[in-house]
Amino acid sequence: MIDASPARTQATETVHLWRRLLSHRSVVVGGILFALVLVAALFAGWLAPFDPLDTDPTNALQPPGRDHWMGTDQLGRDIFSRVIHGARPSLIMGVAPMIISSIIGTASGMIIGYYGRWADLMMTRFSDIALAFPPILLALTVVAVLGPGLWSIALALGLSGIPFYLRMARGQVIQAKEAPFVQTAVSIGAGDARVMFRHIIYRVFPPILVMMTIHVAGAILAGAALSFLGLGIPPPTAEWGTMIQDGRQFLVLSWWMAFFPGVALAITVFATNLLGDGLRDVIDPRSKGEPIR
Q: Are 104 and 215 a contacting pair, CB within 8 Å?
A: no
Peptide bond into 236 cis (omega under 30): yes
* Annotation: CATH topology of 12-50+70-288: MetI-like fold (1.10.3720)
Least confident span in 22-31, 61-70, 107-116, 179-188: 179-188
DSSP 104-159: HHHHHHHHHHHH-HHHHHHHHHHHHHHHTS-HHHHHHHHHHHH-SSHHHHHHHHHH
Q: Which of 228, 240, 208 is nearest to 91 (CA)?
A: 240
- Confidence check: pLDDT of 112 > 80: yes
- Confidence check: pLDDT of 7 > 50: no
Percent of the chain at pLDDT exceeding 70: 90
Residue 289 — pLDDT band, cuts 50, 70, 90?
A: very low
Q: Which of 218, 209, 265 is nearest to 27 (CA)?
A: 209
- Say what the pLDDT of residue 219 is: 94
Q: Write out pLDDT tens, residues 263-278.
A: 999 999 999 999 988 8
Domain ranges of the chain: 12-50+70-288
Q: Write out pLDDT tens, residues 196-224.
A: 777 788 788 888 988 999 999 999 999 99
Average pLDDT, the chain: 85
CA–CA distance, 255 with 247 (Å, rounded to integer): 7
Provide mean pLDDT across the span 166-195.
Answer: 79
What are 78's strand-pairing partners?
72
Q: Are 203 and 285 a contacting pair, CB within 8 Å?
A: yes
Q: Which of 195, 168, 187 is nearest to 106 (CA)?
A: 168
pTM for the full model?
0.84
Sequence letter at residue 170: R
Percent of the chain at pLDDT exceeding 90: 48
